[in-house]
Amino acid sequence: MLIYVKITNFALIEESELEFGPGFNVVTGESGAGKSILMGAVELLLGGRVDKGVIRNGCDRCMVCGGFAVPAGLAGAVGAILVPAGIPFDPAEPLQLRRVIGQSSVRNYVNDTPVSATVPSSDSVFGSRNTSGPFPSRCRYKTLWFRNPSFSKKKRESPWRSGIPYFG
């Protein structure tokens, strides 16, 4: 579960931090408030493709950080990837992901350890631009969800409004 996101010099945002509570969280705001920017930052955090255009005007780099609570059922799989790569991992502590995008380089960190881009975007644990893994993102349509493995991928009808499909 996503615990927090911190953004520095990302798009129009100089600095912002958002903490999420347990359960269902909703981000609302008027047009231009930065909801889509926040979703873009989360997609970037989860291994999305980097565009240097996200660096705030007048700045030489931007940073996106996030903390994730690793579910007990996934702790073994996450540890199996991180520990052999020399990345410290404690299932009781949040998993810290950070991406620093500069004009000429991108640096990725997991638990403050520098990693190659393949570790945070690994299909086996962190998901990808597709829907594989426990943390798929669909920011192209400005929606993001963290899939519960017990949910089916089949199309369902929304319990809130008849006729509007959603994917669980």
Residues 5-33 pLDDT 10s = 999 999 999 999 999 998 899 889 899 88
Q: Which among 27, 28, 21, 26 has a CA at the least distance from the CA of 1?
A: 21
Q: Which among 41, 29, 28, 43 has a CA at the least distance from the CA of 146?
A: 43
Residues 77-135 pLDDT 10s = 999 999 998 999 999 999 999 999 999 999 999 999 998 765 544 444 444 444 443 44
Backbone φ and ψ of 138, nearest 5° = -130, 60
Q: Give residue 4's pLDDT.
A: 95
